[in-house]
Amino acid sequence: MNITKIKSLFTLFSGNECTAEIEPIIDLAVIEVQGMMLENANNEDMRLDFLCAAVANFRYYQAMVAQDRSEYTYGGKMLSDSDGKILGLTEGLLRGYFRLCADLLKGSDFIFMGIA
């Protein structure tokens, strides 16, 4: 996998530059994808760069939504409409890249939690 390409794709997907604060999210995404890969999968397949960037983008927005402390209720934090839409869009992007890389990955080890 090409880290420079992954960072560039992350910027494309998120609209945010890949700063030193974001690099650990990129690193985690690479480790996550490597753990999903079949043993015989080609590590240089460029589809994996897109998948890593999509995973990093999803994780980044999860963190951003978790930091938003603007809407609390007695029961806990509620997602605003825009938060739910952003996470839904990033999840859709991620699902698309998982489908694209299906022949490179182990079975469906990745489980999404529902986003309301």
Mean pLDDT confidence for 87-106: 91
Report the domain count for the chain: 1
In a domain, 12, yes or no: yes
Which domain does 91 fall in, by range? 3-102
In a domain, 109, yes or no: no
Instruction: Give dist(CA 2, CA 45) in Å, integer.
Output: 9
Instruction: State the pTM of this model.
Output: 0.80
Contact (Cβ atoms closer than 8 angstroms) between residue 107 and residue 27: no
Instruction: Give dist(CA 94, CA 96) in Å, integer.
Output: 5
In a domain, 113, yes or no: no
What are 53-91's pLDDT values in tens digits? 999 999 999 888 877 655 555 555 555 556 567 788 889
In a domain, 111, yes or no: no
In a domain, 116, yes or no: no
In a domain, 84, yes or no: yes
In a domain, 13, yes or no: yes
Q: Please give the pLDDT value at position 114.
A: 44
In a domain, 44, yes or no: yes
Task: Place 105 in a pLDDT band, splitting at 50, 70 and 90.
Answer: very high
